[in-house]
Amino acid sequence: MPLGVNRLASRHAHVFLGADHDRNARRTWIVIAITATMMVAEIAAGILFGSMALLADGWHMATHAGAILIAALAYGYARRNAENSRFSFGTGKVGDLAGFASAIVLAMVALLIGWESLLRFTAPVPINFSEAIIVASVGLGVNLVCAVLLHGNGHHADHSHSHSHSHSHKAHGSHAPDHGPDHASEQGHGYGHAHGEHAESHPADTHQGHTHHTGERAEDSNLRAAYMHVLADALTSVLAIAALIFGSVYNWLWLDPAIGLVGTIIIGRWALDLMRQSGSVLLDYVPRDEPLPNEIRKIIEAEGADIADLHVWQLGPGHHGAIVSLTSDAPKPPSHYREKLARLTALSHVTVEVEWHGSARPA
């Protein structure tokens, strides 16, 4: 059968969403509903009772609800387009893009809190301490409930199913003999696509293999972004309650804006950390403590081959891709190396290129 027909017959999905993608999406919408309800109630009560404290906190919650909405919409977009072939490596990184956008919003919120705090240093405003403490306490309760919903990550295996295939061809101008469709005499490509939990290998000489393995849990930048917004809101409530209590006892009006500046620094650092994490995934940065590249090298070298070039990147939460270019004096089919790499549960997409060592190439 011609190579092109084989390639077209081996269609496979590139769904690299996190193990808890749908669960996280549902919880994010629940948090939005709770936050929006509280927001509307506070704004309505503020207008009805003429309370600036209620109005301010209501609009403050609106900014966080909008940021969390980014996360919820990203989950929906990633799921709807998970099978869209226009996304070459799936939609697993949509959450990281949303997380980066949410981090920018979080940083803006921190700057606004800092700016407002500085203005209150120069122009103090009277504070209704008892009312403000009640508002902050209610807001803290709501945020704690939302934080529990977004932080409730259990430790269980992710279920995915892997479809893989390999093919080979002779390089143009090569005089090496052709050993058949599964053996690369000059260069071969093996593709592994993992979506699964259990490990099961089929014979390497079949064109389409199936690999099931236990997936590794990885941090979801999108969920972390939503969680950080809720946590930031909870932190501001805790700091506000402390400042209001001491301010009401000692009449320290300066303490409220001072605590606001402390919150600005803490939330700003959270935002930068979130930007760094999600941005590194978007730019295919491999952290120094990522063990996958070394594990790939060990497996390939144990097969008597040398890695000439290796690229590893994250495809989505718990999913990584790799391009492995290797050389050997006695190269095996790409499917052989792919099968060996299948034990790496974090590896969900593999391309294997096999070449002879220059001096070992058959005449």
pLDDT at 358: 66
DSSP state of 215: B
Q: What is the mean pLDDT of residues 69-79?
A: 91
Task: Evaluate if residue 120 carries a pLDDT over 80.
Answer: yes
What number is the average pLDDT over the span 73-102? 89
State residue 297's pLDDT score. Answer: 93
pLDDT score for 183 = 37
What whole-number percentage of the chain has pLDDT above 70? 74
- Please say whether the beta carbons of 10 and 164 come within 8 A: no
How far is the C-alpha of 168 from the C-alpha of 3, rounded, in Å?
8
Residue 175 reports pLDDT greater than 70:
no
Contact 199, 213 (CB under 8 A): yes
- Ranking 46-55, 219-228, 276-285, 305-314 by mean pLDDT, the lowest is 46-55
Q: Quick one: average pLDDT of 132-156? A: 78
The pLDDT confidence band at residue 218, using thresholds 50, 70 and 90, is low
Residue 191's CB is within 10 A of a number of other CB atoms, namely 19
Question: Tell me, what's the pLDDT at 100?
Answer: 94
User: Exposed, middle or buried, 207 (CB in 10 Å: 0-12/13-18/19+)?
Assistant: middle
| C-alpha to C-alpha distance for 354 and 227, rounded to whole angstroms | 44
Which residues, at least 6 apart from 25, have a Cβ–Cβ distance to it below 8 Å?
72, 75, 76, 79
Are 218 and 318 within 8 A, CB to CB?
yes
Residue 202 has pLDDT above 50, yes or no: no
Sorting pLDDT into bands at 50, 70 and 90, what band is 134? Answer: confident
Are 67 and 105 spatial neighbours (Cβ–Cβ below 8 Å)? yes
314-346 pLDDT tens trace: 988 888 889 999 998 888 888 888 888 888 888
pLDDT of residue 135: 81
For residues 334 and 184, the answer to whether their CB atoms sit within 8 Å is: yes
Instruction: Tell me what the mean pLDDT of segment 242-271 comes to.
Output: 85
**pLDDT average, residue stretch 198-216:** 35
Any idea which of 8-17, 326-335, 346-355 has the lowest mean pLDDT?
Answer: 8-17
SS3 315: strand
> Which residues make beta-bridge pairs with 350?
192, 322
The full DSSP string for 151-178 is: H-----PBP--EEEEEEEEPPTT--PPP
Which residues fall within 8 angstroms of residue 53, CB to CB, at 6 or more apart? 46, 128, 131, 132, 135
Residue 198's pLDDT band (cuts 50, 70, 90):
very low
- Alpha-carbon gap, residue 81 to 266, rounded angstroms: 36
